[in-house]
Amino acid sequence: MCEAVAQPSEDEVLLRVTAVGLCGSDLHWFCEGGIGDAALQSPLVLGHEFAGVIESGPRRGERVVVDPAIPCARCESCAVGNQNLCTNLRFAGYGTTDGALRQYMWWPERCMDLLPDTIQDPEAALLEPVGVALHALDLGHVRPGMTVGAFGLGTIGILLVRLCRLAGATRIFATDLLEHRLEAVQGPSVETIVADVTGRERDVVLARTDGRGVDVSFEIAGTAEAIETAIVTARPGGRVVLVGIPSDDRVSFGAATARRKGLTIALSRRMKPGYHRAIDLVESGLLDLGGVITHRYGLDQVDEAFQVLAGRDGIKVVVEPGRDAGRVS
């Protein structure tokens, strides 16, 4: 048994990992050896979107989705309910805390929520990005009748579009460079626009809103171009939520435009604790996860999985440690 399995803390239970979603932040660690201002100092097991089966203690046999964040419960942020901003946070697959790309791991029992039978393991790995999208939605204050821009359609962007529709947004302008991602959000109230390096989509959004702009802009691409698009297309007095993680840890935009519009700019950090909203939305059928998972791999195919993720050939890539070699697309 490996060392990570052999030495649990008192509050931890043994988890058999069944599914791990790969995220853009994992790609930063994998390709660049860091993310933002954090850099690897030693080898790290990645993976923070995961589900599994408890293999020890009174809850043995339960299928669970796992919160990758372990807040300290002592700092000021934790005390006021902002555990996602905990200054002493430990996070799976980040810094020095190993993540879930393995068969077994110990993790605090309090970070595990029971999965209903209607949510399968690969779908359960999507509940963490659903939580991230819900937090961004809350920061955007989306209300019925609003117009919304979603700029960048990776997994979180696609989920945000679907959540904005549920929240009552009557027009959602969704942009991405890739056609297959635009196809994933097509539906009532959504207008898809192919983005390009010239920022043409900004003119299209403004033209379709008669120059007014959107009530809420979500930037979910992690690029300077998407941030500028979010600022330019937001209406005066509107809100801009920055969700994407830039590769060089820098963001910039036209300050004069943002200032003259009096924009409220919020930066989204991970998700609030607890999966109850995410589970209820999916279990009830209100939030459809269909079409988001495009690639599934076994644990022995992680390199190939990251190649697909880096190539942006699909949308969500899921690794299933107990899965036989082979891919399902």
CATH of the domain at 12: 3.90.180.10
pLDDT, position 17? 97
Q: Are residues 179 and 257 in the same domain?
A: yes
Q: Are residues 91 and 157 in the same domain?
A: no
Residue 264 and residue 79: Cα distance in Å, rounded? 25
**Has residue 328 been placed in a domain?**
no
Q: How many domains is the chain partitioned into structurally?
A: 2
**For residue 6, what pLDDT band results from cuts at 50, 70 and 90?**
low
The angle subtended at Cα 289 by Cα 172 and Cα 14, nearest 5°, is 135
pTM: 0.90
pLDDT, position 274? 77
Q: Are residues 136 and 262 in the same domain?
A: yes
Q: Are residues 98 and 140 in the same domain?
A: no
pLDDT, position 312? 87
**Has residue 273 been placed in a domain?**
no
Q: Are residues 14 and 107 in the same domain?
A: yes
CATH number at residue 147: 3.40.50.720
225 token code pair:
């171009």
**Has residue 279 been placed in a domain?**
no
Q: Are residues 236 and 200 in the same domain?
A: yes
Q: Are 239 and 267 in contact (CB under 8 A)?
A: no
Q: Are residues 237 and 314 in the same domain?
A: no
Q: Are 318 and 23 in contact (CB under 8 A)?
A: no
Q: Are residues 91 and 170 in the same domain?
A: no
**Has residue 299 been placed in a domain?**
yes
Domain of residue 86 covers 3-126+289-320
Q: Are residues 303 and 316 in the same domain?
A: yes
Q: Are residues 38 and 166 in the same domain?
A: no
Residue 88 and residue 100: Cα distance in Å, rounded? 20
Residue 68 and residue 80: Cα distance in Å, rounded? 20
Q: Are residues 169 and 261 in the same domain?
A: yes
- Cβ partners under 8 Å of residue 324, min gap 6: 298
Amino acid residing at 176 = D
**Has residue 280 been placed in a domain?**
no
pLDDT, position 7? 63
Positions of E strands within the chain: 12-22, 34-35, 38-39, 49-54, 63-66, 69-70, 90-91, 104-108, 112-114, 147-151, 171-176, 190-194, 214-219, 234-242, 264-267, 293-298, 316-320
**Has residue 228 been placed in a domain?**
yes
Lowest-confidence pick of 160-169, 230-239, 319-328: 319-328
For the chain, the distance separating the N- and C-terminal CA atoms, rounded to the nearest angstrom, is 33
**For residue 8, what pLDDT band results from cuts at 50, 70 and 90?**
confident
Residue 198 and residue 211: Cα distance in Å, rounded? 19
Is residue 325 pLDDT above 70, yes or no?
no
CB atoms within 10 A of CB 160: 32
**Has residue 101 been placed in a domain?**
yes
**Has residue 276 been placed in a domain?**
no
Q: Are residues 21 and 78 in the same domain?
A: yes
